[in-house]
Structure formats: C-alpha cells, structure tokens
Amino acid sequence: MIRRGTATDGLGILRFKNGFQIKISNLFAGLGLAMAAVLLAVYSLQIGLTKTGISDFLAIFVGAELSDAKVYALIDVRLPRILVGFMVGWAVALSGAVLQSLARNPLADPGLFGFSQGSMIMIMLLLIVVPLAPKSLVALAAVAGGLCVAGLLLWLVGGGRSSGLAIVLMGIAVETVLSSFGTLLILYLPPETSLALSEWLAGSLFQANWSLIAAFLPLHGHLVSGILIAGRLLPAYDLGNEMAMALGEPVARSQPLLLLFAVVLSAAAVTAVGPLMFLGILAPHIAAFLSPATGRARLVLSGLTGGILVVAADTLTRGVAVGLPMPLGLSLTIIGVPLFIIALRLQALRKFQSH
C-alpha cells in the first residue's frame, strides 16, 4: 500500500499505491506546522481581558455551566477571530504562492500587486450604488476588482516580461493610485458604512464572527480541490512558460485559470478582513525555509504557515499592545517589511553565489 523510497535528491519519500507521493521531510514539516497551529490557537484563546482559556473551552463540551462573560469571550469573540485569521492567512499565502510560480517572481504578492486594493475599490463602488448589498454580491465584486487589476497589471507590464523588480514597482504604483482613490471614495459612502469601511481598509479581525465563517467556509472547501489541481501544474510553471509548454502543459488554458484561482483567494480574504500586504510573500518564503517543497506540498505548507502567521500576529498585538486597537494589516506591514528586506538580501546572495 505505502512504500518508502528515495527521491532523486537522496531524501526519503513515501509512495502511495495510487501514484501519490510525498517527501518525508515535507510530511513532518506539515505535521509540525499543524501542531504549532493548534498550540497557538490554544494560547491565543487565553489572551484577552476576560480570564479564561482552553480548560473552560473544553468544559463547555462536557456540559459545565460557565458565566456568560466567559462564554461570550470564548465562543463569540476569540474562537471566530482565530478561525477567520487562520483561514484568511491560509488563503492569502496560497494566492501568493500561486502568483509567485505564475509570474516566476519570488516577490509576487496579491497585496503588493494591488489585487486586494482592486477588490476593495470594487466593493466600495458596489456599496455606493447598493448600500445594503448581500455578502455574495460583495464577494463577487471583490473577485471582479481583483481581476480588473490583474488585467491592468498584465497590460501595463506586457505579457511575457513579468519577472524582475519592474513588475513589483509597477504593482506598488498601481496600489498607490488605487488606495488614494479608495480614500476619495470613502467621502461618498453613507457615514455608518464609511466608518466600518475605514477599519476594514486597514485590514482587521475586529468584525470576525460566525456568520462570516459560514460564508467563508464553502469557498474553503473549493480551495482543497484547487490546491490539488494547481499544485500539479505549478512545478511546470516554475520552469517558465516555454518549458511548461514543452512539458505538455496547455499554458494558454491553464494560465488564466491559475490567475483566476489566485485572484479568488485574495478576493475572499479581502471580503473577510480587508487587504493584507506582504503575507503572500512571507508565508511561502518561510515555508520554503522550513522545508523546501514543490507542487502540492509547497502549497499546503505555505497555507499552514500563512494561517499561523496571521494568528500569531493577531495574538501578539492583542497580548503586547493591550487596549491598542492595532489592525492586522498594520502589524503585518511592520513585521513584513524587515522580513521582505531579508528575503531580498538572501535572493541577492544566492544570485551572487550562482554567478
């Protein structure tokens, strides 16, 4: 049923009978990350003004009576926050990982490329026209906005030459224009919407609740199939479009699909918490640092890392800065920039060695 073998690079690998195979190191990294995620969630449950934690949480299932404040803190505030945080981190990290393979650019990120801002703008335009739009329409608008920006960026950069720093700068420029346009749009929103939106614009988990999770969950189900398909394709794309074609990949058909997949992921995250920068770069890089992987394993590991990063950032801001309403997007930027610079430095060093 399961055979243990050795991959071409001499590392251990597990081969299943149906052809599925996974590197042992990746398997362990994945299990370790999943464990870390659970531990982090347990710790995060304890952080906050109300004194309660995992023991109280488990007690609820046994049937113990708890004070309302504790139940409220655990079930209505902290648990949704952790779950939404994890799902959003997972989605953005996957989006980044897919984009990086597509653009063959290790610095690709849905936030930095302006996709999330595009989604945000489209949502705002929708809310101006239809103030009480249902959640599904909002999500659709987010996808449309992300796609518009992706198309714009492709047109500006011009098809094939998408590698290098120029596209990153172009993304940042598009992002700048869109975000100042967003600030302008806020003027036209009804006051109560614009107040909620300005928090949303900063990327925050304040409004995490169970209905949001319910809206987000079906999408997450689709993600699993997306990972299975995208994960098979991406290694070919990592070699470049010509090589992918030579390997028998129908680039003309699968490339737009992959781009759509990445945009949908980032749009879903924007609908839930707002635009997050740098996460899409950080998570795949950290995952690759922990355990180098390709294909599906890379996607799963990146997603896990992304989820952990968001929950950790949220826990950190809640634990360290008590009473300071720091939006998630802000703490991710402050953590993200130095790590991004380190990634640039490492990349430069690697180039230096290879020359």
Partner 1 sequence: MQRRLVFLSAMTFLLPVVAGVHLFLGFRSTDLPQLLFAFAGSDAQSFEEAVLLYQRVPRTLIALYVGGVTAVCGFVLQSLVRNPLASPTTLGVNAGAALFLVAGVLLFNLDTKLQGAAALVGALSGFLASLAVAKAAGRRNDPRGLSLILSGALVTMFFTGLTNALLLSDPARRSDLLSWIVGTINHAYADRLALFWWVGVIAILMLLVLARPLTLILFGAEKAASTGVNVPIVSGLAILAAVLGAGSAVAICGPIGFVGLVVPHIVRPLVGNNLRISLPAAFLTGAMVCIMADLIGREALYPFSLSTGLVTDLVGGVVFILIIKRFYLSSGAQQGVA
> Shortest approach of partner 1 to residue 269 CB, angstroms?
19
Binding mask 181-200 for partner 1 (x = CB under 8 A): x-xx--x-------------
> Shortest approach of partner 1 to residue 207 CB, angstroms?
17
Q: Which is nearer to partner 1, 36 or 330 (CB)?
A: 330
**Which one of residues 31, 169, 195, 243 is an interface residue with partner 1 (CB under 8 A)?**
169
DSSP-H helix ranges across 5-48:
24-46
Q: Which is nearer to partner 1, 174 or 268 (CB)?
A: 174
Q: What is the largest CA-CA distance in the chain?
A: 67
Number of residues that bind partner 1 (CB under 8 A): 42
**Which one of residues 7, 69, 130, 173 is an interface residue with partner 1 (CB under 8 A)?**
173
Side-chain-side CA neighbours of 89 within 13 Å: the count stands at 27
DSSP string, 38-92: HHHHHHHHH-SSS---HHHHHHHHHT----HHHHIIIIIIIHHHHHHHHHHHHHH
> Shortest approach of partner 1 to residue 324 CB, angstroms?
5
Q: Which is nearer to partner 1, 61 or 352 (CB)?
A: 352
Q: Does 161 bind partner 1 (CB under 8 A)?
A: yes
> Shortest approach of partner 1 to residue 105 CB, angstroms?
12
Query: Are 344 and 164 a contacting pair, CB within 8 Å?
Result: no
**How far, in Å, are 5, 230, 232, 298 from residue 242 at the CA level?**
32, 18, 17, 22
> Shortest approach of partner 1 to residue 173 CB, angstroms?
4
Residue type, 289: F
Q: Does 247 bind partner 1 (CB under 8 A)?
A: no
Q: Does 174 bind partner 1 (CB under 8 A)?
A: yes
Query: Are 236 and 244 a contacting pair, CB within 8 Å?
Result: yes
> How remote is the C-alpha of 204 from its chain's centroid?
14
Q: Does 172 bind partner 1 (CB under 8 A)?
A: yes
Query: Are 311 and 92 a contacting pair, CB within 8 Å?
Result: no
Q: Does 168 bind partner 1 (CB under 8 A)?
A: yes
